[in-house]
């Protein structure tokens, strides 16, 4: 079956542009996570959904970051007015309740 | 929220030796502890996990141990092989809210 997919795989943005990153979780997975992974670092928690409810957004680094999952399936991470420090790989993971997450391939964002 | 610390940050072993990676967590309510392996340029892959009602779990050459009292858990890889070289991440989860350690880069020298 299909795993977690993310699009686009690569995104180059000019500083100040808005970007939207999409995550398609595994069908039926209740939990969905977004992580930011800088080069050579571990995944840093951004936000977590259970179905459509955003239960924790404490990891979002600023109010330029916004995530939604309106129908409890596909999720979008939006970054407004991108800055160079936003350059990273953005990983999405989904999981059934109480189990380890299955990661998508990530979106590599480069802000010039 | 939960805070997970992982040591060492880098580990180099000779092929055939064992490797041990240790993690500590801060919130005693954490009840699920997965380990991920991430090869260069690829996504993290779940390799083994343990729940808070279990002290040890083995799967072939890998094992995890959990000490709830001390709030630490470890990954043990025996008879290491060059293909075990990767970055390993531990994580701790309260309900479904999962946080990761900073990772250990394991290099297995042939």
pLDDT tens-digit map of B52-81: 888 999 999 999 999 999 999 999 999 999
Average confidence (pLDDT) over B85-89: 95
Nearest to A42 among B45, B49, B89 (CB): B89
Chain A interface, Cβ < 8 Å to B: 30-31, 33, 35, 41-45, 48, 50, 55-56, 58, 91, 95, 97-106
Q: Which residues make beta-bridge pairs with A49?
A: A32, A54
3-state DSSP call for residue B74? strand
**B25 neighbors B4 (Cβ within 8 angstroms):** yes
pLDDT at A46 over 60: yes
What is the rounded distance in angstroms from the CA atom of residue A56 to the CA atom of residue A73? 17
Q: Look at residue A1 and tell me whether its pLDDT is greater than 60.
A: no
A41 vs B1: CB contact, 8 Å cut-off?
A: no
Q: Among A100, A106, A107, which would you mutate to test the B interface (most chain B Cβ atoms within 10 Å of its Cβ)?
A: A100
Task: Say yes or no to pLDDT of A39 above 90.
Answer: no
Query: Among A40-44, A76-80, B4-8, B66-70, which is the least confidently predicted range?
Result: A40-44
At A101 the pLDDT is: 82
Q: Name the residue of chain A whose CA is nearest to B96's CA.
A: A98
Phi then psi dihedrals of residue B82, to 5 deg: -55, -35
The answer to whether B44 touches A89, Cβ cutoff 8 Å, is: no
Overall size of chain B counted in residues: 110
Q: In chain A, what residues touch B87 (CB-CB under 8 Å)?
A: 42
């Amino acid at each position: 079956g299909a795993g977690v997919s993310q699009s686009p795989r690569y995104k180059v943005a000019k500083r100040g542009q808005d970007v939207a990153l999409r995550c398609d979780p595994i069908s039926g997975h209740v939990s969905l996570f977004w992580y930011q992974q800088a080069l050579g670092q571990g995944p840093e928690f951004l936000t977590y959904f259970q179905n459509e409810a955003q239960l924790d957004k404490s990891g979002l680094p600023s109010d330029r970051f916004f995530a939604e999952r309106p129908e409890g399936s596909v999720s979008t991470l939006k970054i407004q007015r991108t800055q160079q420090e936003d350059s990273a790989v953005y990983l999405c993971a989904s999981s059934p309740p109480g189990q380890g997450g299955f990661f998508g391939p990530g979106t590599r964002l480069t802000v010039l | 929220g939960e805070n997970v610390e992982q040591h060492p940050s880098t580990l180099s072993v000779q092929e055939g030796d064992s490797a041990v990676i240790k993690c500590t967590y801060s919130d005693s309510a954490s009840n699920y502890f997965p380990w991920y392996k991430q090869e260069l340029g690829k996504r993290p892959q779940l390799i083994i996990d343990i729940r808070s009602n279990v002290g040890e779990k083995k799967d072939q050459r890998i094992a995890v141990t959990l000490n709830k009292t001390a709030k630490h858990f470890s990954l043990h890889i025996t008879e290491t092989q060059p293909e075990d070289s990767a970055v390993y991440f531990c994580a701790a989860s309260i309900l479904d809210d999962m946080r990761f350690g900073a990772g250990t880069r394991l290099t297995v020298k042939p």
